[in-house]
Structure 1
Amino acid sequence: MSRIALIAGLFLLVLGACGPKTSAIRTEEVSFTSLGDTLHGVLSKPKGKGPFPAVVMIHGAAPATRKNYQEFTRALVHQGVAVLNYDKRGCGASGGVMWYADLNDLGSDAAAGLSLLKNREDIDSDRLGYWSIAQGGWVMHFAHDRAPADFMLGISTPNITPREQIRYQVASVVLENGGTEQFAERFTRYLTGYVDYLRTREGYQAWMREDSLLRDDERMYDLEDFFAFSDLVHREPPSELPPFDSCQVNPSARNLDFDPVNSYASLDIPVLLIYGREDQTLPLRDNIERVLPVAKREGQIQFKAYFHADESMRDQGRFPEGFMDLMGGFVREPGMRIPTE
């Protein structure tokens, strides 16, 4: 995995019966406007006239284009689902700058995509939802506030704050590489302290002192592939620091304390959240238990966890048996009950 994807991930911080299979995928170039910028992507559709149930794909933390998530796109289309996969803000052919955006901006982008689909005759406007992965799980709440969907489908969705996910993910990496919980907590404070300084312009001297100490700490030598000091680009004092909106950080770093549980409490649409038990980016039990109490009714928010899958839903490089059928079945029938075994 590339260094920029890893640091972006940290700043996150900073199946039942088979459905209909089609033999062809039709694609159509589309564009739409969000926050004054034009975003470009591809609408992939099954063979036939439709109208088709559809999803808008919402990206994870790293820069992404329509070329990402192709395996998911193909699988959903073969299940009879239309998929809008667009170049993320500032990536590929899309305008804007990802590094200056927050989760709300990305939500506006996804909402604009959903509005585009809602007005098409070949799309079933009563089965139109958001599909997300990782950071996109936060974004889809902001998107739903702007353009309500009929359902949400999330892969490796964080139900904790970005600040809490940084803490968990740093601890996972540090402990796996022989470090201690104390050092993991120290490095977490260093990362989140960087973002807090950019936001408040307070604590500069203390953060720079810790920065110097960590750079010389031998415990960092084995972690340099994961924690790249050079990616923390703003080291100037408060008087020279650009406005927070102009600082280059991952969108989730601008919303470190966003708690999605409050958003789940206001939802009254079907939600399916799918996880891999080998996911090292999320505390799975806490992630599920935080959401269950706020569901409007039994079965409104459902979960599925695959024992040997990781955060990308791979099990030894392959998707779990039934996983793709489960996604397609839920999009076609959002009220379906998900098997737990």
Structure 2
Amino acid sequence: MTAPLPLVARGGAGALAGSLWLPGGAPRALVLMHPGSGPSDRDNDVFFPPIRAALLAAGAAVASYDKRGVGESEGSWLTADIADQADDAAAGLRAARTALAGVPGEGGTGRDVPVVLFGHSQGGWVVLEAAARPDLRDDVAGVATSSGPAVTPGAQERFSTATLLRRAGRSGADAERALAVFDGLMALAERGASFDEARAWSEEPGRRAALDGLAELGAFVPGAPEVWGLATRIVGHDPVHALRSLDAPLLAVFGGDDGVVPVERSVAVLRGTVGAGLLDVAVLAGGDRRLQDADDAFVPGYPDVVVDFVRRVAADA
């Protein structure tokens, strides 16, 4: 495999550093991969490289970027909500298109190949938001989400917290009390409460112990002003508007054993929202949020289902 080409995009908070990987022959498609939550880089730690390798083997060019403030990118990921990240994805796509302009393609240059946006986890909300924008709608031939919830981040975190409690063996009144406190915290974030207000609320009798216990289990309990500030701008994001606006084919892939994303509810929202003939849902048995099994290997069918989708989109474009 040849070395990737360096990319620099002008995002909303400065320069975004990324890479463009080219297949062995003329590219048949361009896949822009957007990572999940937190300080994720262009590889989404170790998750993207094997998916990227499969896409390259199928003849697709692949681009991805370090999020704001990660790796070589400027800014801070703590300032970027879903809409901001969609801006960055759009900027990244423009930079990748420009880089492909000098690459020979089938019937023209690589700049002319169809585009598929791929987003994992939080990145699923991002690529849906980007694809629904008027300035990108004519440039996006397909969208693929990997464990991308079709509910708000607040609803997703409530589901994830309930899963953590259940798997920890907590049930009945004890679990209900903990979930009630977590619901209260999410409600504060959804209405944009300040960090000081949320901290004062959290210190009320019975709440601090419940939140500390949830944090120990791995629940999302923001403990710093910057993280709380980001939470207030993200938790209420509803992907339904973007889903209704989408006019490109959508592949939504989920793991059947995902305890973080409410798969059944997400599938119901997708089937009730996405335009007729555009939706393809794949729920892969045994897969967790990373579509992996207990041995951290991809479950059967992944990433093949993504590669097949990109091939179909490229063939139909």
Bucket of the pairwise TM-score, normalised by the shorter protein: 0.7 to 0.9
Counterpart in the other structure of 1:5: none
TM-score computed with the length of structure 2 as normaliser: 0.84
TM-score, with length taken from structure 1: 0.78
Q: Give the secondary structure class of the aligned counterpart of 2:64.
A: strand
CA RMSD in angstroms comes to 2.7
1:27 aligned residue: 4
Q: 272, 284, 288: which is aligned to 1:306?
A: 284
Measure the CA separation in 1 of the matches of 2:240 and 2:126: 13
Look up the SS of the partner of 1:185 in the other structure: helix
Distance 1:107 1:228 in 2: 23
**Which residue in the other structure is 1:104 paired with?**
83
**Structure 1 Cα separation of the partners of residues 196 and 73 of structure 2:** 35
Which ranges of structure 1 fall in alignment gaps of 5 or more residues? Answer: 1-23, 235-246
Find the counterpart in structure 2 of residue 282 from structure 1: 261
Deviation, 1:196, is: 4.5
How far does the alpha carbon of each residue in 1:262-312 deviate from its partner, in whole angstroms, 9 at most, with x for none?
2111111111011110100122111111111223223x1110111111110
Change (3 A) 1:227 1:288: closer
1:52 and 2:28 matched: yes
Please, which of 302, 306, 312 is the counterpart of residue 327 of structure 1?
306
CA, structure 1 residues 63+250, in 2 after alignment: closer, same or farther (shift >3 Å)?
Answer: farther
Residue of structure 2 in register with 1:224 after alignment:
216
1:137-186 Cα shifts (integer Å, max 9, x gaps): 11112222153321101100100011111110111101211223413422
Residues 149 and 263 in structure 2, CA contact (< 8 A), matched pair in contact too? no
Shift of 1:81: 1.2
Task: Say whether the 8 Å CA contact 2:193–2:232 is kept in structure 1.
Answer: no
Equivalent position amino acid for 1:138 in 2: W
Shift of 1:131: 0.5
- Whether 1:183 aligns to 2:183 is no
Partner of 1:147: 136
Indicate whether 1:207 and 2:194 are aligned.
no
Mean Cα displacement is larger for which, 100-109 or 322-331?
Answer: 322-331
Matches of 2:39 and 2:269, distance apart in 1: 29
- Look up the equivalent residue of 2:130 and give its one-letter code: A
Unaligned segments of structure 2, at least 5 residues: 104-109
Deviations 1:107-153 (A, max 9, x none): 11111111122333333534112101000111112222153321101
Q: Identify which range, 265-274 or 176-185, moves more after superposition.
A: 176-185
Q: Does 1:129 align with 2:116?
A: yes
Of stretches 248-257 and 111-120 in structure 1, the one that deviates more from structure 2 is 248-257
Most deviating of 300-309 and 73-82 = 73-82
Paired-residue identity, %: 25
Structure 1 residue 225, shift from structure 2 partner = 4.7
Q: Secondary structure at the match of 1:160?
A: coil
Aligned counterpart, 1:237: none
Gap change, CA 1:250 and 1:320, over 3 Å in 2: farther
Instruction: Give distance in 2, aligned partners of 1:53 and 1:336.
Output: 9
Q: Aligned to 1:290, what secondary structure does the other structure show?
A: helix
Distance verdict in 2 for CA 1:288–1:215, change over 3 Å: same
1:39 matches 2:16 = yes
* Structure-1 residue corresponding to 2:246: 267
| Greater RCO structure (CA 8 Å; 6+ sep) | 1
1:156 corresponds to: 147
Q: What displacement does 1:336 show?
A: 8.1
Q: 1: CA distance between counterparts of 2:43 and 2:229?
A: 20
Residue 88 of structure 1: how far off its partner (Å): 0.8
SS in 2 for 1:323: coil
Match of 2:65 in 1: 86
Name the stretch that deviates more: 282-291 or 152-161. Answer: 282-291
Distance 1:336 1:96 in 2: 38
**2:189 corresponds to which residue?**
195
- Asked whether the 8 Å contact 1:79–1:325 carries over to 2, the reply is no
